[in-house]
């Protein structure tokens, strides 16, 4: 690893050395260093320029499917052009350390950067841009590998049709007003409840029910560490709060553990 690495808080280093089961909860800040815009930033966030109710609800898709599909396809192509950053890669290396029995990534992000960086277990709580499905029957839809490659962003693009029922294909993300997918949510709860260490990386902790996962970890005796560059980042009593970004902090933690 190259570049300046952040000094690791001693409490986190000790906790990570002892941890056998690690869970990493990631949010938009995890991918922002790969050039993926966040949704909630007041200035540059995606919802600073668009109203969520115009693009991110089932009603919006039913009303103007070509507009919604075009917008999400542009986001998917943007992600496809992006590359995992040092923080994503560090999680793969953390999982490979000899004392770590398991490492699960529980993410609110809808990109595939964790997978492309090599993380083996990634639980997508808010769905994925790369897993579209039928709006009518929920049958998965496989996009061609080169779908949209190099295409310019357009304001309107009719969605493909379901190969099973002919219904319109929708983005595979969780929209406002929709429940989280049950299987990854249940798996996330189980991983967090069994964890020794939970790293909360790049998330504001404002979106529920995912925001309640650190409480589950604390109630089951896990150490919770929050990695967030914001000066006003806070945790619960007993948490470790480290003011750092994913791409600086996670490589520093892996290097410190490897040197131990």
Evaluate if residue 44 carries a pLDDT over 60. no
Is 139 annotated in the active site? no
Query: Nearest-CA neighbor of 251 among 41, 107, 89?
Result: 89
As a whole-number percent, the residues of the chain with pLDDT over 90 amount to 79
Torsion of CA 54, 55, 60, 63, to 10 degrees: 90
Peptide bond preceding 148 in cis form (omega within 30 of 0):
no
Pick the CATH number of 37-81+133-170 from 3.50.50.60, 1.10.1060.10, 3.90.1150.10, 3.30.1600.10: 3.30.1600.10
Query: Nearest-CA neighbor of 257 among 4, 19, 2?
Result: 19
Mapping DSSP to helix (H, G, I), strand (E, B) and coil, where does residue 125 land?
A: coil
Residue 142: predicted pLDDT: 94
CA distance 142 to 165: 14
Mean pLDDT score, 25-45: 78
Q: 197-223: per-residue pLDDT in tens?
A: 999 999 977 788 998 999 999 999 999
Query: Radius of gyration of the chain from Cα atoms?
Result: 19
**Which tokens is 159 given?**
């969605």
Q: Do domains 1-36+84-131+180-260 and 37-81+133-170 have the same CATH topology?
A: no
Mean pLDDT score, 29-39: 88
Mean pLDDT score, 21-46: 80
* The domain made up of 1-36+84-131+180-260 is a member of CATH 3.40.50.1220: yes
Evaluate if residue 80 carries a pLDDT over 80. yes
The number of beta carbons lying within 10 Å of the beta carbon of residue 221 is 9
pTM, whole model, 2 decimals? 0.92
Mapping DSSP to helix (H, G, I), strand (E, B) and coil, where does residue 21 land?
A: strand
CA distance 133 to 119: 24
Query: Nearest-CA neighbor of 243 among 252, 213, 103?
Result: 252
Query: Where do the domains of the chain lie?
Result: 1-36+84-131+180-260, 37-81+133-170
99, 126, 139, 208: the active-site residue: 126
Q: 117-154: per-residue pLDDT in tens?
A: 999 999 999 999 999 999 999 999 998 876 555 667 78
């Amino acid at each position: 690893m190259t570049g300046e690495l952040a000094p690791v808080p001693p409490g986190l280093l000790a906790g990570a050395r002892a941890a056998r089961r690690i869970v990493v909860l990631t949010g938009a800040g995890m991918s922002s260093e790969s050039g993926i815009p966040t949704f909630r930033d007041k200035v540059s966030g995606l919802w600073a320029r668009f109203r969520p109710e115009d693009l991110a609800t089932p009603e919006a898709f039913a009303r103007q499917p070509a507009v919604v599909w075009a917008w999400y396809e542009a986001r998917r192509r943007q992600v496809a052009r992006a590359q995992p950053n040092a923080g994503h890669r560090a999680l793969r290396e953390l999982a490979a350390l000899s004392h770590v029995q398991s490492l699960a990534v529980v993410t609110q992000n809808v990109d595939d950067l964790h997978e492309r960086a090599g993380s083996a277990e990634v639980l997508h709580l808010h769905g994925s841009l790369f897993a579209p499905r039928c709006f009518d029957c929920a049958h998965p839809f496989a996009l061609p590998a080169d779908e949209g490659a190099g295409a310019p962003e357009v304001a309107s693009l009719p969605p493909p049709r379901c190969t099973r029922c002919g219904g319109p294909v929708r983005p595979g993300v969780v929209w406002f007003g929709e429940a989280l997918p049950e299987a990854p949510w249940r798996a996330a709860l189980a991983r967090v409840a069994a964890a020794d260490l939970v790293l909360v990386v790049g998330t504001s902790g404002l979106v529920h029910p995912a925001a309640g996962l650190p409480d589950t970890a604390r109630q089951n005796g896990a150490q919770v560490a929050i990695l967030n560059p914001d000066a006003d980042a806070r945790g619960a009593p007993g948490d470790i709060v480290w003011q750092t970004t994913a791409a600086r902090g996670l490589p520093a933690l892996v290097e410190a553990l490897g040197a131990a």
